[in-house]
Amino acid sequence: MSAAAPVHAFQAQQLWHDAGWRSDAVFAVDDRGRIAQAQGGTPQYLDGWVLPGMPNLHSHAFQRAMAGLAERRGPSDDSFWTWRETMYAFAARINPDTLQAIAAQLYVEMLKAGYTQVCEFHYLHHQPDGKPYAQPEAMSLALIEAAREAGIALTLLPVLYMSGGFDGRPLSPRQNRFGHDVESYLRLLASLRKLERDDLRVGVALHSLRAIPEQAWRGVVEHDALKTGPIHIHIAEQIGEVQDCLATRGARPVEWLFDHAAVDKRWCLVHATHLTESETTQLARSGAIAGLCPTTEANLGDGLFPLARYLDGHGVIGIGSDSHISISPVEELRWLEYGQRLSTRHRNVAARHAGDSVGETLWRATLRGGAQAADLTIGALSSGARADLIVLDRDSPLLAARDSRSVMDSFLFAGNVPLVRNVMVGGTWVVRDFQHRDEARIAARYRSTMEHLTHA
Ligand code: NGQ
Ligand code: ZN
């Protein structure tokens, strides 16, 4: 196919390129919403700092609606596992309409925060009692529709969830709506893959090692349907999970995974918090992505990822907002660095070489890892990539007198009011002057949905 004709030329006052900032850079967006070479025409001038939008590699959309509802101490010692009970009770009340309303609101908030793509790790497949909907894809379609309404690019990862623990026990009643056998899962996957298009990719998610019985594992990971596209899995998030895995399978989760799957750059290991030195090195070498979700990991009391060792091994990282306790790439990256500073009592940990900026290092690294996890040509403003970009607020006092050496660190460490002013996805402006194109309608529907969910 020949290249599409450039249809719109832009000139950015400052444009982010992998190697740094370029002044007065000219580029074009073609009629498929991709970056192309500028070829004449008067470009539209973009004031200020223009950089690639951030992919969000891990989302459970419905959880946004319970953010802040699990922060009061319960009768016993609160933990990840008590939070999960609250989350399950909440999940039981979601249907396709409420999911669409919540997800659309979430995706608007993501766009306004600077995320231009989301990987949806979607396991709320069936009716609350576990029966499939008349249309088995109903919940997936609600997410696809929400992404379309908001104008965010989507990598949908339907989740395979088969068992309720490492011992292969059946799903609990509340987990029934997550469950599939391999055959029905592959049917869902095949039907969703038919919907793939430029801004919709479909990949695979395995919920966790504990959700796939050991006897089913090989048949799943070696199935033809898993030979292409991304594969995401939750892993080694909690110490309890590491202990259970050791007790039942005689190996730590990441160790076990590497022994039982050809883990390569198609894989995204979500959290991967609890790693030994050798697991850290092995993960880094594999080219797989460590899918880090620092605000959720902090909120749930997970632990800290061994960032320095992993980056020294050239490991790939990306960020996700996961439970959506926070929706901000700035906050994810800030927490990622601050967690390391607090635990090591050093500064500038993510910058591994003298002279490197932490902000630039982290934005660059997570663009790359996020694009890899999403399996879309995004994360760079170079020819052929989707035109997914954000423009920082040129008028913010915070960016006064910042130059190309300091702007990213001010953006990531000091920005407490949103600095993302304009957002483009696939060549279309979806946020202009801090306003999303359809935010009033989507927020109104979200409010009435929440009223109904809360009081019905
Ligand atoms: C999830 N979330 O699937 O939503 C999980 C909790 C589980 C996080 N791990 C449920 N952050 O892991 O079983
Ligand atoms: Zn998750």
Query: Which of 374, 393, 426 is the last residue before a domain boundary?
Result: 374
Q: How far is the CA of 198 from the centre of ligand 1 (A)?
A: 29
Q: How far is the CA of 84 from the centre of ligand 1 (A)?
A: 7
Locate 184 and state its tokens: 């029905």
- Band of the pLDDT at 3, cuts 50, 70, 90? low
Locate 75 and state its tokens: 């009768």
Pair 344, 429 in one domain: no
pLDDT digits (tens, 9 = 90+) for 309-345: 999 999 999 999 999 999 999 999 999 999 999 999 9
Pair 422, 299 in one domain: no
Closest CA to 182 of 143, 145, 226: 226
Q: How far is the CA of 295 from the centre of ligand 2 (A)?
A: 12
Indicate whether residue 174 lines ligand 1 (CB < 6 A): no
Q: Is residue 258 assigned to a domain? A: yes
Ligand 1, atom 6: nearest CA belongs to which residue? 84
Please, are residues 288 and 267 in contact by the beta-carbon 8 Å criterion?
A: yes
Q: How far is the CA of 16 from the centre of ligand 1 (A)?
A: 35
Mean pLDDT across the stretch 127-131?
97
* Catalytic status, residue 271: yes
Q: Which ligand is closest in space to the CA of residue 325?
A: 1
Q: Is residue 452 assigned to a domain? A: no
Q: How far is the CA of 404 from the centre of ligand 2 (A)?
A: 35
Pair 266, 341 in one domain: yes
Choice among 58, 234, 271, 436 that is catalytic:
271
Q: At residue 51, what is the residue type?
A: L
Q: Which residues fall within 8 angstroms of residue 84, CB to CB, at 6 or more apart?
A: none
H helices within 8-117, ranges in order? 80-91, 96-113
Cα separation, 141 vs 137, whole angstroms? 6
Q: Which residue has the tokens 């003298």?
A: 354
Mean pLDDT across the stretch 202-226?
98
Query: Which of 355, 374, 393 is the last residue before a domain boundary?
Result: 374
Indicate whether residue 234 lines ligand 1 (CB < 6 A): yes
pLDDT digits (tens, 9 = 90+) for 258-296: 999 999 999 999 999 999 999 999 999 999 999 999 999
Ligand 1, atom 13: nearest CA belongs to which residue? 84
pLDDT digits (tens, 9 = 90+) for 7-64: 899 999 999 988 889 999 999 999 999 999 888 789 999 999 999 999 999 999 999 9
Locate 428 and state its tokens: 């279309």
Three-class secondary structure of residue 47 per DSSP: strand
pLDDT of residue 456: 73
Q: Is residue 422 assigned to a domain? A: yes
CATH number at residue 256: 3.20.20.140
Cα separation, 66 vs 72, whole angstroms? 13
Pair 42, 144 in one domain: no
Of the chain, the percentage scoring pLDDT greater than 70 comes to: 99
- Any idea what DSSP says for residue 372? H
Pair 328, 351 in one domain: yes
Indicate whether residue 237 lines ligand 1 (CB < 6 A): yes
Render 129-142 in DSSP notation, one character per residue: TSPPPSSTTHHHHH
Q: At residue 202, what is the residue type?
A: V
pLDDT of residue 199: 87
Pair 187, 301 in one domain: yes
Pair 225, 306 in one domain: yes
Closest CA to 256 of 279, 274, 229: 279
What's the start-to-end Cα distance of the chain, in Å? 54
Domains: count for the chain: 2
Instruction: Report how far Cα 408 is from the mean position of its chain's Cα atoms.
Output: 21
Q: At residue 101, what is the residue type?
A: A
Choice among 302, 322, 393, 409 that is catalytic:
322
CATH number at residue 419: 2.30.40.10
Q: Which residues fall within 8 angstroms of residue 229, CB to CB, at 6 or more apart?
A: 201, 202, 203, 204, 266, 375
* Catalytic status, residue 375: no
Q: Is residue 117 assigned to a domain? A: yes
Mean pLDDT for the chain overall:
96
Ligand 1, atom 3: nearest CA belongs to which residue? 207
Locate 261 and state its tokens: 């799957």
Pair 82, 125 in one domain: yes
Mutate to test the pocket of ligand 1, among 58, 79, 84, 88 (most ligand atoms within 8 A of CB): 84
Q: Is residue 456 assigned to a domain? A: no
Q: Is residue 391 assigned to a domain? A: yes
Q: By residue range, what is the domain housing residue 90?
A: 54-374
Pair 398, 348 in one domain: no
Mutate to test the pocket of ligand 1, among 171, 238, 323, 326 (most ligand atoms within 8 A of CB): 323
Q: Is residue 416 assigned to a domain? A: yes
**Contacts of the segment 90-95: beta carbons below 8 A, 24+ positions apart:** 90/62, 90/63, 90/65, 90/66, 91/62, 91/124, 91/174, 91/177, 92/128, 92/174, 92/177, 93/128, 93/453, 94/62, 94/65, 94/124, 94/453, 95/127
Pair 122, 27 in one domain: no
pLDDT of residue 6: 60
Beta strands in 123-227 (DSSP E): 153-160, 200-202, 204-208
Q: Is residue 312 assigned to a domain? A: yes
CA-only gyration radius of the chain, Å:
21
Cα separation, 370 vs 378, whole angstroms? 9
pLDDT of residue 5: 58
- Give bridge partners of residue 234 from the DSSP assignment: 208, 270
